Amino acid sequence: MSGHKFLFSGLRWWISGRSRWMSKLHDGLREQRIASLHSCSPKVCIVGGGPAGFYTAQHLIKARQDVEVDIYERLPVPFGLVRFGVAPDHPEVKNVINTFTQTAKHTRCSFYGNVNVGKDVSVEELQRAYHAVVLVRTWKIKTKHRKSPLNKSLNVLFFWGGILWQSYGAEGNRSIGVPGEELTGVYSAKDFVGWYNGLPSCRELSPDLSCETAVILGQGNVALDVARVLLSPLDILKKTDITQPALEALTGSQVRRVLIVGRRGPMQVACTIKELREMVNLPDTRPEMVVSDFEGVTEALKDLPRPRKRLTELLLKTALETPGEKEQERRNKASRTWGFRFFRSPVEVLADPERSRTAGVRLAVNKLEGSGERARAVLTGEVEDVTCGLVISSIGYKSLPIDPSVPFDSSKAIVPNTMGRVQQASGLYCSGWLKTGPTGVIATTMNNSFDTARSLLEDMDSGTVDVSAAKSGSHIISSLLEERGVKPVTFSDWEKIDNVEMRRGEAIGKPREKLLTVEEMLRVARTVTEDKKQFLGKQSSCCQRGPR
């Protein structure tokens, strides 16, 4: 049999083989595309393989039959916060991964994981290689710094009261801007969430859960995710994709009481009703609220917009109503408690006598100025101390400037843009949390990503983005990366990781057991599967020459 014939029959065998081989063929087709350097297809590059990246790609590919999209992702694995943010006990939310996978497997879409844009390749290099570049969020926890060492506590009080906004910080810095924050037992929600969700950079966190009371600062959905994970019965958690080290730490956890602290009142909580209901119904827990926090709330209900009204009604019911017999019995039997604490801003994390770990948190008591969503917290001058051994700051996420060449508004932590068009930067777009700031659920991110895609398509049609000249796209970027020793992870490489994780999970009754280090992910991504070994073996024995 001639080499060609053998190759052909090998290819047929390959296609009729197992389904995962289809993605290999897809890679082959992709290479053909790379080879056709002079194709005039519009080439778009997306930085960030989270929801915004995949939704932008999906819309572009659907709307134009000729556009080719490459997604560059810093980690070897795709899906951003769907993998590393969404709580393990919310598996239904993660179903969006199926849609993202369809996009990634489209013949006009390629995924390049393990490429850190801004470090491995610059945005300017991407702009030279592609007709357009779309940036999505880059991670950073929202942090606070005091403006001046003078009058420290005043600054801190002002900032937590919402009067002084001095916010910046470095990635991974878990500063909350109050004295004592360096003590053992103080964590940022981003790190804590990253730890239980297997984010490689948070693997070593090992939070100390040996205390009875935990305080969470902030009352958004992330705060509620963290509270739920801390208090959930293990029977629930062990059927999720929470990492095994986190599950083991939670098994030994002594935390029995979680206080969720907000600087404003019940009518300003940032969580949504579904998440609040989950707390209310969490097995083996009972709510513990302060009745006086709800003064005047019942009277104000009638003027609230509907979603806020329903949320406030549930809060009122939980805090003030005498429960029915069955619910009372459930609450009496509960071994754990949770509750909101309103009108409170932290001013200091208190140390134990050895000054080695957290023993409590000092809270300033606030009152509200104004009403509704825009009400502002102002200090009353009173303080109170809460005993606790764990403090988790959950006051929101923040994007990082990706590259010095890209404009960045540090006060809003967004790339300044008009409908996704980066201001004063032709051919540069932004999507997702980098465009809007760190708020919004996946559906909101989807809509804002579709909007960015629409802006880009309009600009291609109008000629504002010139797609008439051929661009080399990933061809040139791959060469640059190779020169720099960076080996991207393709989507079919990710599928190997996915496979290993699912098999590991299956063995212990979980949907998935995540790989926890980048090294391990890369090792699995680069394994050659048995099927492929056989195919390559047949191919080389047939040809009997050429490099091995």
> Which residue ranges make up the annotated binding site for FAD?
52, 73, 81, 117, 433, 440-442
Q: How far apart are CA 519 and CA 258, in angstroms?
A: 36
Q: Which stretch binds ligand NAP (CB under 6 A): 147-155, 217-225, 329-337, 359-367?
A: 217-225
- The reply to whether 139 sits near ligand FAD by the rule CB under 6 A is yes
Neighbouring C-beta atoms of residue 527, cutoff 10 Å: 13
Q: Binding string, 476-515, against ligand NAP, x = CB under 6 A? A: ----------------------------------------
Task: State both tokens at 527.
Answer: 């394994």
Least distance in Å: CB of 117 to ligand FAD? 4
In this structure, are residues 280 and 334 in contact, taking their beta carbons and an 8 Å threshold? no
Taking alpha carbons only, the member of 331, 322, 319 closest to residue 295 is 319
Q: CA angle at residue 397 from 120 to 426, to 5 degrees?
A: 50
CA-CA-CA-CA torsion sign (351, 353, 359, 362)? negative
- The reply to whether 81 sits near ligand FAD by the rule CB under 6 A is yes
Of 26, 43, 59, 137, the residue at the interface with ligand FAD (CB under 6 A) is 137
- The reply to whether 396 sits near ligand FAD by the rule CB under 6 A is no
Least distance in Å: CB of 61 to ligand FAD? 17
In this structure, are residues 25 and 14 in contact, taking their beta carbons and an 8 Å threshold? yes
Give the total of residues touching ligand NAP (CB under 6 A): 22
> Closer to ligand FAD at the Cβ: 70 or 293?
70
Least distance in Å: CB of 450 to ligand FAD? 13
Task: Classify burial at 324, counting beta carbons within 10 Å of its beta carbon; exposed 0-12, middle 13-18, buried 19 or more.
Answer: exposed
Q: How far apart are CA 232 and CA 226, in angstroms?
A: 10
Of 76, 85, 88, 198, the residue at the interface with ligand FAD (CB under 6 A) is 85
CA 120 to chain centre: 22
What is the helix (H) or strand (E) element at residue 128, kind and residue range? helix 123-129
> Closer to ligand NAP at the Cβ: 440 or 505?
440
In this structure, are residues 109 and 44 in contact, taking their beta carbons and an 8 Å threshold? no
> Closer to ligand NAP at the Cβ: 110 or 143?
143
Which residues partner with 376 through β-bridges? 369
Q: Which stretch binds ligand FAD (CB under 6 A): 112-120, 231-239, 244-252, 324-332?
A: 112-120
- The reply to whether 510 sits near ligand FAD by the rule CB under 6 A is no
Least distance in Å: CB of 204 to ligand FAD? 19
- The reply to whether 441 sits near ligand FAD by the rule CB under 6 A is yes
Binding partner of residue 50 among ligand FAD, ligand NAP, none, CB cut-off 5 to 8 Å per kind: ligand FAD
Of 225, 241, 459, 493, the residue at the interface with ligand NAP (CB under 6 A) is 225
> Closer to ligand NAP at the Cβ: 450 or 535?
450
- The reply to whether 396 sits near ligand NAP by the rule CB under 6 A is yes
Of 22, 365, 442, 518, the residue at the interface with ligand FAD (CB under 6 A) is 442
SS3 of 301-359: the string is: HHHCCHHHHHHHHHHHHHHHCCCCHHHHHHHHHCCEEEEEECCEEEEEEEECCCCCEEE
Of 101, 138, 232, 253, the residue at the interface with ligand FAD (CB under 6 A) is 138
Q: CA angle at residue 24 from 46 to 85, to 5 degrees?
A: 45
**What is the side-by-side strand order in the sheet with 376-387?**
344-351, 358-369, 376-387
Q: How far apart are CA 211 and CA 350, in angstroms?
A: 14
Where would I find the beta strands (DSSP E) of 155-229? 186-188, 213-217
Q: Which stretch binds ligand FAD (CB under 6 A): 43-51, 242-250, 294-302, 504-512?
A: 43-51
Q: Which stretch binds ligand NAP (CB under 6 A): 324-332, 382-390, 438-446, 481-489?
A: 438-446
Of 74, 108, 131, 263, the residue at the interface with ligand NAP (CB under 6 A) is 263
Of 46, 199, 231, 270, the residue at the interface with ligand NAP (CB under 6 A) is 270
> Closer to ligand FAD at the Cβ: 126 or 347?
126
Task: State both tokens at 372.
Answer: 């509704």
- The reply to whether 86 sits near ligand FAD by the rule CB under 6 A is yes
- The reply to whether 155 sits near ligand NAP by the rule CB under 6 A is no
DSSP letter assigned to residue 260? E
- The reply to whether 166 sits near ligand NAP by the rule CB under 6 A is no
Please, which of residues 340-359 interact with ligand NAP by CB under 6 A?
none
CA atoms within 13 Å, Cβ hemisphere of 70: 33
Binding partner of residue 265 among ligand NAP, ligand FAD, none, CB cut-off 5 to 8 Å per kind: none
3-state secondary structure of 506: helix
> Closer to ligand FAD at the Cβ: 378 or 442?
442
CA 324 to chain centre: 39
CA atoms within 13 Å, Cβ hemisphere of 4: 0
In this structure, are residues 366 and 263 in contact, taking their beta carbons and an 8 Å threshold? yes
Residue nearest to ligand NAP (CB): 220
- Residue 439 phi, psi (nearest 5): -130, 155
In this structure, are residues 166 and 336 in contact, taking their beta carbons and an 8 Å threshold? no
What is the helix (H) or strand (E) element at residue 194, kind and residue range? helix 189-196
- Residues annotated within the binding site for NADP(+) are 219-222, 263-264, 275, 440
- Residues annotated within the binding site are 52, 73, 81, 117, 219-222, 263-264, 275, 433, 440-442
Of 432, 455, 456, 512, the residue at the interface with ligand FAD (CB under 6 A) is 432
List residues binding ligand NAP (CB under 6 A).
Answer: 160, 218-223, 225, 262-264, 268, 270, 275, 394-397, 438-441
Interface residues toward ligand FAD, by CB under 6 A: 47-53, 72-75, 80-81, 85-86, 90, 93, 116-118, 136-139, 193, 222, 225, 397, 402, 432-433, 440-442, 445
